[in-house]
Amino acid sequence: MDRAKKWWALTEDLLAGTFLTVGITLILYGALMRYVFSDPKAWVMEISTYSIVWGVLLGVPIAWRNNQHIRIDILYDKLSGSKQRLMDIFSNGVCVIFCIAFTYYGLQLVIERYPSGMTSMDVGIPMWIVYLVLPISGFLFLLRSVEKLVIALKGEGEK
């Protein structure tokens, strides 16, 4: 179980980390080519932006895993333990619903764009590929939300 969890986290980190690193490296490459070699690469801006946004969206479940998404605890702190547990179940339940909807509509978007022939402006990447990140990150986010909901249901509380 712990082993599986390790691999799961590693997969998330590798996916998001790769895209973010590629994007940031491309920005540096673009600046170098323009300034040092006077040979600007027009495709850099679009690809680096998409790559970073991919990395960031794939990073949403990582932020969730690390409890980075901002929550307000004013009410939560005033509640007793059993009521806190109810609130945990409710809030994580809502997140699960959000993730299901996000994944569903993200997938619908990809399916709609697939036959459309729409491409990105600069490089001409098919838009359905660009949008593919939405259902993928939605699904990874869903897995983390389900994990949190299960923990809340078991009443274990967050580490």
Partner 1 sequence: GGEGSTKMEGSDSKGDDILIRFSFVNAPMSIKALAAERFAELTHEKTGGRVKVEVYPGGQLYDDDESIDAVAAGNLEMIAPSVTKMVTFDPRWQYVDMPFLFEDEEHVLAFFDSEIAQDLLRSEILENNNMMGMGFWQNGFKQFTSTKIPLREPEDFQGLIFRVQAGSVLESTYRAIGAGTATLSFGETYAALQQGTVDGTENTFNNIETQNYEEVQDYLTISNHGRIDWAVFVNQPFWEGMPEDIRIQVEAALAEATEYMNSIAQEENNRSFHAIKESGNLEIIELTKEERQKFELAFQSVYEEFEMVITKEVIDGIRSLK
Partner 2 sequence: MSLTILFLLFFILILILMRIPIAISLAIATSLFLFHDNFHMSMVPVRIFSSLTSFPLMAIPGFILAGVVMARGGLSKHLIMALRAWVGHFPGGLAVVTILACMIFSAISGSSPATAAAVGAIMIPAMVAEGYDKKYTMGLIAAAGTLGILLPPSIPLIVYGITVEESIGKLFMAGVIPGTILGFTLIVSAMFYAKKRGYGISGKTSLKDRFHVSIKAIWALFLPVLILGSIYSGAVTPTESSVVAVAYAIVVSVIFYRDLKWQDIRPIMEETISLTSMIFLIIGSAKLFGLYLTLGQIPQQIGAWIGESELNKWLFIIIVNLLFFVLGTFLESISIILITLPVIFPMLAHFGIDPIHFAIIMIVNMELAMITPPVGLNLFVVSGIAKDRVESVIRGVIPFFIIFIFVLVLIILFPHLSLWLPGKM
Q: Which helix (H) or strand (E) holds 58?
A: helix 44-58
The residue range among 19-27, 41-49, 50-58, 84-92 that interacts with partner 1, by the rule CB under 8 A, is 41-49
Closest CA to 119 of 108, 133, 109, 130: 130
| Interacting residue with partner 2 among 47, 128, 131, 148 (CB under 8 A) | 131
Compare residues 67 and 150 and give the one whose CB is closer to partner 2: 67
Compare residues 30 and 138 and give the one whose CB is closer to partner 1: 30
Is residue 1 a contact point for partner 2 (CB under 8 A)? no
DSSP 124: -
Is residue 108 a contact point for partner 2 (CB under 8 A)? yes
Closest CA to 45 of 62, 63, 65, 30: 30
- Cross-strand partners of 72: none
The nearest distance, CB 68 to partner 2, in angstroms, is 4
The nearest distance, CB 61 to partner 1, in angstroms, is 25
Evaluate whether 127 touches 119 at the Cβ level (below 8 Å): yes
Burial class (CB in 10 A: 0-12, 13-18, 19+), 65: buried
The nearest distance, CB 54 to partner 1, in angstroms, is 16
Residue ranges in contact with partner 1 by CB under 8 A: 34, 38-40, 42, 45-46, 111-113, 115-122, 124, 127
